[in-house]
């Protein structure tokens, strides 16, 4: 009872409260944008400070939050409905189709009417020398939106948090920076900041991660257009370590992302030398590799993503497995903002209003794991791969979208258009299995293996 009263009285954010957001990537900016929009609706005022040492207007590593930079159709549309319209200056390319490459051929899957519903962006200024293209980065756009809503951006790295009078106090280089009514942990998985939160002792543990790879391939705009068009090129190959790889066109660059268990520089080199990959790229003299990195990727969410006056957003908490991490950052940022503004900032408030959204992503990833297991079987077996290609090719001639089941499974899996849970029933559809087995049997009989 005592705690209930305390929660109601002490953990509602008062006007003028300080909110400290650690990390100005998408999760931190989304939290700030929505918290400020919602506060204004209630005639409330909070002081939100976003701590972010990176400068997203800079090219090269100084401004880069290493990522494939695909904004899913669902996120593009949801943001537009929210009134956060991605300006042309942020978009490197509008995407209307995926081209799926295997060792046994390729197949296209496209949006209805070839509407370009997916966007590709750079998270910072892009590879070195890219600034002259006069574009803006996605992270800078969001951070600027947050500042326009009223947030303050401090170019500082927070390196310590202590509790004073039951309130978190933030430090940078031993200077006390501020006492906060709420601290939002939006620091991703690519820094050592998780340790600060682990040390606070409320049970938070850094999310489990795998190492992925990003390679920026430079070529002329015309060559990008000729070889890649408005399509993302996806590779499903029978390699043990690689789940899938994607080549993502962006102006005069193509970003190659390789996702899998633990990708190393050697795996990247092997991948680039595969015949199927060489077949997609133009001749070697037409492109150059500008930079490579091996960022970490969240694959399992921590159990305790909140405490009194503390909440995690984006990759520091839960994210969608192998896709649409930016969409998950939006969902978690907004859920945390709604809870803080409309309810309060105690662990009970977060448990009741924020945790259901967090958990829904965690549960969705279980469905995702199952679906990837099916895809792993298909890509590992040449008969099934051929069967899959054949079914998808046949589906392209069908008029009704409802009957293009395998195409829509693959589309939704890789574009981030659907939650895994919504794809799952399609994967159990008997018709899909029958046509897959039929086409695979044909491939077997033809002896094309």
Partner 1 sequence: MKEGELLGRSYSNGEIIFREGEKGEAMYVIQAGKVKITKSTASGDVTIATLESGDIFGEMSLFDRLPRSATATVYGDARILSIDKKKLFASIDKDPTLVFKILETMSKRIRRLNEDFTALKKNRSGILKISFSVEDTCNMILEEARNLIKADNGSVMLLTDDEKSLSIKAAFGTEADSKLKLAVWDGIAGDVIRIGRAELVNNVTMDSRF
How many residues lie near ligand FAD (CB under 6 A)?
A: 38
Residue 203 DSSP label: S
Site for ligand FAD in 226-265 (CB under 6 A): 257
By the 8 A CB rule, do 256 and 215 touch?
yes
* Stretch 157-176: interaction string toward ligand FAD, x if CB under 6 A: xx------------------
To the nearest whole angstrom, how small is the minimum distance from the Cβ of residue 210 to ligand FAD? 9
Helix (H, G, I), strand (E, B) or coil at 408: helix
183 vs 337, which CB is nearer to partner 1? 337
Using CB under 8 A as the binding rule, whether residue 222 contacts partner 1 is answered as no
Q: Is 361 exposed, middle or buried (0-12, 13-18, 19+ CB in 10 A)?
A: buried
Determine which residue in the list 55, 82, 159, 206 makes contact with partner 1, applying CB under 8 A. Answer: 82
Site for partner 1 in 23-52 (CB under 8 A): 37-38, 41
Contacts of residue 189, defined as CB under 8 A and 6 or more positions apart, other chains included, come to: 206, 207, 209, 296, 297, 298, 315, 316
| Region at 272 (left for phi over 0; alpha for psi -120 to 50; beta for the rest) | alpha
Using CB under 8 A as the binding rule, whether residue 269 contacts partner 1 is answered as no
76 binding partner (options ligand FAD, partner 1, none; Cβ < 5 to 8 Å by kind):
partner 1
Site for partner 1 in 281-340 (CB under 8 A): 334, 338
By the 8 A CB rule, do 448 and 386 touch?
yes
13 binding partner (options partner 1, ligand FAD, none; Cβ < 5 to 8 Å by kind):
none
Cα(337)–Cα(31) distance, integer angstroms: 5
To the nearest whole angstrom, how small is the minimum distance from the Cβ of residue 340 to ligand FAD? 17
Using CB under 6 A as the binding rule, whether residue 69 contacts ligand FAD is answered as yes
292 binding partner (options partner 1, ligand FAD, none; Cβ < 5 to 8 Å by kind):
none
85 binding partner (options partner 1, ligand FAD, none; Cβ < 5 to 8 Å by kind):
partner 1
Residue of 268, 216, 264, 272 lying closest to 60 (CA atoms): 216
Cα(165)–Cα(365) distance, integer angstroms: 39
Cα(197)–Cα(195) distance, integer angstroms: 5
How many residues lie near partner 1 (CB under 8 A)?
A: 28
93 binding partner (options partner 1, ligand FAD, none; Cβ < 5 to 8 Å by kind):
partner 1
31 vs 227, which CB is nearer to ligand FAD? 31
Cα(4)–Cα(61) distance, integer angstroms: 47
Using CB under 8 A as the binding rule, whether residue 230 contacts partner 1 is answered as yes
Using CB under 8 A as the binding rule, whether residue 426 contacts partner 1 is answered as no
Residue of 217, 190, 211, 209 lying closest to 258 (CA atoms): 211
Using CB under 8 A as the binding rule, whether residue 363 contacts partner 1 is answered as no
Helix (H, G, I), strand (E, B) or coil at 32: helix
Q: Which two tokens stand for residue 144?
A: 């600027």
Residue of 166, 168, 184 lying closest to 176 (CA atoms): 168
74 binding partner (options ligand FAD, partner 1, none; Cβ < 5 to 8 Å by kind):
partner 1
The CB-side HSE value for 221 (13 A sphere, CA atoms) comes to 5
Helix (H, G, I), strand (E, B) or coil at 106: strand
Region of 113-121, 154-162, 267-275, 373-381 interacting with partner 1 (CB under 8 A) = 113-121
Region of 85-93, 179-187, 204-212, 403-411 interacting with partner 1 (CB under 8 A) = 85-93
In sequence order, what DSSP letters do the residues of 383-401 get, joined into one string? HHHHHHHHHHHHHHT-S-G
Using CB under 6 A as the binding rule, whether residue 420 contacts ligand FAD is answered as no
Interface residues toward partner 1, by CB under 8 A: 37-38, 41, 74, 76-78, 80-83, 85-86, 88, 91, 93-94, 113-117, 119, 225, 230, 251, 334, 338
Interface residues toward ligand FAD, by CB under 6 A: 22-28, 51-54, 65, 67-70, 157-158, 186-188, 190-191, 193, 212, 214, 257, 295, 297, 314-316, 319, 324-327, 329
């Amino acid at each position: 009872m005592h705690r209930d009263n305390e929660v109601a009285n002490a953990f509602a954010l008062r006007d003028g409260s300080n909110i400290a957001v650690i990390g100005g990537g998408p999760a931190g900016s989304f939290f700030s944008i929505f918290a400020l929009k919602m506060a204004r609706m209630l005639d409330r005022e909070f002081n939100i400070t976003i701590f972010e040492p990176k400068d997203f207007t800079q090219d090269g590593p100084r401004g880069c939050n290493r990522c494939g930079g695909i904004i899913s159709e669902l996120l593009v549309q949801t943001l537009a409905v929210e009134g956060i319209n991605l300006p042309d200056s942020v978009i490197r390319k509008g995407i209307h189709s995926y081209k799926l490459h295997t060792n046994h051929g390729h197949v296209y899957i496209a949006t209805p009417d070839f509407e370009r519903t997916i966007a590709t962006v750079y998270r910072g200024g892009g590879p070195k020398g890219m600034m002259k293209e006069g574009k803006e980065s996605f992270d800078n756009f969001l951070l600027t939106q947050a500042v326009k809503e009223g947030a303050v951006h401090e170019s500082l790295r927070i390196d310590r948090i202590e509790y004073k009078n039951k309130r978190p106090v933030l430090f940078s280089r031993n200077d006390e920076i501020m006492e906060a009514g709420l601290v939002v942990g939006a620091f991703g998985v690519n820094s050592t900041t998780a340790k600060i939160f682990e040390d606070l002792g409320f049970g938070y543990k850094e999310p489990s991660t795998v190492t992925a790879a990003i390679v920026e391939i430079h070529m002329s705009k015309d060559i990008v257009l000729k070889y890649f068009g408005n399509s993302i090129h996806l590779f499903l190959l029978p390699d043990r370590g690689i789940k899938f790889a994607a080549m993502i066109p962006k102006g005069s660059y193509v970003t190659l992302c390789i996702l899998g268990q633990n990708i190393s520089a050697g795996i990247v080199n092997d991948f680039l030398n595969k015949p199927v990959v060489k077949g997609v790229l133009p001749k070697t003299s037409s492109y150059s590799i500008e930079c490579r990195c091996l960022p970490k990727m969240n694959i399992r969410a921590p159990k305790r993503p909140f405490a009194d006056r503390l909440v995690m957003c984006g990759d520091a908490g839960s994210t969608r497995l192998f896709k649409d991490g930016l969409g998950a950052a939006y969902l978690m940022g907004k859920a945390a903002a709604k809870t803080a503004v409309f309810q309060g900032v105690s662990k009970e408030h977060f448990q009741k209003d924020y945790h259901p959204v967090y958990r829904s992503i965690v549960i969705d990833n279980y469905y995702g794991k199952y679906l990837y297991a099916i895809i792993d079987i298909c890509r590992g077996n040449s008969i099934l791969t051929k069967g899959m290609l054949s079914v998808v090719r046949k589906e392209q001639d069908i008029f009704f979208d409802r009957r293009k089941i395998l195409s829509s499974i693959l589309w939704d899996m890789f574009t981030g258009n659907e939650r895994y849970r919504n794809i799952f029933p399609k994967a159990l559809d008997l018709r899909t299995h029958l046509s897959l087995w039929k086409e695979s049997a044909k491939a077997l009989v033809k002896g094309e293996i």
